[in-house]
Amino acid sequence: MFKRILIANRGEIAVRIIRTCRDLGIISVAVFSEADRDSMHAQIADEAVCIGPAALGESYLNAGRILAAALAVGADAVHPGYGFLSENAHFAECAAACGLTFIGPPPEAIRLLGDKARAIQTARAAGVPVVPGSEGVVPDAERAAAVAREIGYPLLIKAVSGGGGRGIRLVEEPSALAAAYTAACAEAQAGFGDGSVYIERFLRRPRHIEFQVLGDQYERIVHLFERECSIQRRHQKLIEESPSPLLTADLRAEMGAAAVRLAQAAGYSGAGTVEFLVDENRAFYFIEMNPRIQVEHPVTECVTGLDLVAEQIRIAAGQPLGLSQADLRQRGHAIECRVNAEDPARGFLPVPGPIRTLNLPGGPGVRVDAAIYQDYVVPPYYDSLLAKLIVHGHDRDQALARARRAMAEFHVEGVPTTTDFQLQILREPDFVAGDFSIDYLETHTFPPVGP
Ligand code: MV4
């Protein structure tokens, strides 16, 4: 097992990883920017190294500085968390070249899944359903028109190197296709340094349901059931849950098996997430796979009883998976609310600044993953995630009651937060009935809550 792990991240996920390191008797090493001197992750880690100024390119996105810090402290492994360098195949290769274990999937799998068209072709070859569309990259406007004649309108042009909502363009009718194709390629080139695009039929009002998978280095892969992630605003998830209110046991087993087949075909190991869209007929389609631990992983931890970060570490250390699919059960119901330092009344504008008062919820079935404390100053340079509230209950009704109870207890003064907005969702009849899609927040209005 590793003796010392460097955590190449900040905020709640760095704290989350430090906690598991401590459980496992592994020395944790934090890295922090000059803007994060007072951050919780830098304070609670066993060791902490300043790696540079606030700017991402000089700290958390600077592979050279992070690897130099890891070598200087004698780390044997690097955990990238989510975001930052977590999906950077080159960083994973450089870590290995330095004699450090990258706690994540093999670089070849990261590279394959980072190319969304190759990922979809891998899925198709593995018998995983995909959205009707182009077979791989669409190289010119003539080919785009040919694909469009086959699949019809509306359609989406997606950047091969996009993902997570970046680099997508909706085309409603044939007259708009040629210009949209040209613009999509130019945008993709400018945004990702790769102008390749592919085309899919546009699904109306789908649900976004993802499956957690876990694979060891010996080709054993299991799935840890689904997370329902449809409640989002502009690709920022606000509430996630497991199980999804939509899935039947049969559909869950079918989608889980598909997720495992895709991971196997991609040569995957470690923790990963397979994203599907599910239409109104409950037909499901693979759209992409994320080769990292995700923000919403605690929902899966609650219903499976596993520590996913510990599983990542054991897998990276070469231990075989101690679980088989038949051992795994989805127990009860878990809901996560992401508490952001944003003002819903001002279009969810991020508002950094000092936290003057902080009262965190507790009690039965409540978990808070956060990296904040009273008088902590939220820096303006990074994301606005303050905390994650995760509740667990015997069933969805109990989990909902606990989520409402805990969110009402969640009290922050100094910066605005999303808690009151989420409380309204937790009480809204369609949400309570489990009747929603990715369009939920565009089709439901919530009055601003006064101070
Ligand atoms: C789609 C889609 C409808 N049809 N693909 C956006 C993020 C990226 N992961 C895939 N996305 C979508 N792909 C087809 N063929 C609708 C979305 C989409 C979406 C997906 C998941 C969660 C939120 C979303 C919000 C808007 C659009």
pLDDT band at 450 (very low <50, low <70, confident <90, very high): low
Phi–psi pair at 4, nearest 5 degrees: -145, 120
Please tell me if the CB atom of residue 202 comes closer than 6 angstroms to any atom of ligand 1.
Answer: yes
Cα–Cα distance measured from residue 151 to residue 162, given in angstroms and rounded to the nearest whole number:
22
In the prediction, which pLDDT does 165 show?
A: 79
Pocket test for ligand 1, best of 113, 161, 230, 438 (most atoms within 8 A of CB): 438
User: 28-70, pLDDT tens digit by residue?
Assistant: 999 999 999 999 999 999 999 999 999 999 999 999 999 999 9
Pocket test for ligand 1, best of 160, 232, 277, 440 (most atoms within 8 A of CB): 277
Please tell me if the CB atom of residue 165 comes closer than 6 angstroms to any atom of ligand 1.
Answer: yes
- Transcribe 4-57 into DSSP letters: EEEE---HHHHHHHHHHHHHHTPEEEEEEEGGGTT-HHHHHSSEEEEEE-SSGG
- In 324-443, beta strands by DSSP E: 333-340, 342-343, 349-350, 353-354, 357-359, 366-370, 377-378, 385-393, 411-413
Average pLDDT over residues 211-237: 98
Average pLDDT over residues 309-322: 98
Q: What is the percent of the chain with per-residue pLDDT over 70, rounded to a whole number?
A: 99
Per DSSP bridges, beta strands 197-201 and 221-233 are: unpaired
pLDDT band at 164 (very low <50, low <70, confident <90, very high): confident
- Compute the mean pLDDT over every residue in the chain, rounded to the nearest whole number: 97
As to burial, measured by CB atoms within 10 angstroms (0-12 exposed, 13-18 middle, 19+ buried), residue 152 is exposed
Cα–Cα distance measured from residue 132 to residue 177, given in angstroms and rounded to the nearest whole number:
17
In the prediction, which pLDDT does 195 show?
A: 94
Average pLDDT over residues 75-94: 98
**Catalytic choice (10, 16, 261, 292):** 292
Q: How far is CA 250 from CA 7, 98, 246, 299, 451, in A?
A: 39, 46, 11, 21, 46
Whole-number Å distance, alpha carbon 206 to ligand 1 midpoint, is 8
User: 397-423, pLDDT tens digit by residue?
Assistant: 999 999 999 999 999 999 999 999 999
In the prediction, which pLDDT does 387 show?
A: 98
Name the helix (H) or strand (E) containing 405.
Answer: helix 396-409
Report cis status (omega within 30 of 0) of the bond before 344: no
Domains in the chain with CATH codes: 4-103 (3.40.50.20), 132-201 (3.30.1490.20), 207-443 (3.30.470.20)
pLDDT band at 448 (very low <50, low <70, confident <90, very high): confident
Predicted confidence (pLDDT) at residue 205 exceeds the cutoff of 90: yes
Atom of ligand 1 nearest to the CA of 229: 22
Q: Is 292 a catalytic residue?
A: yes
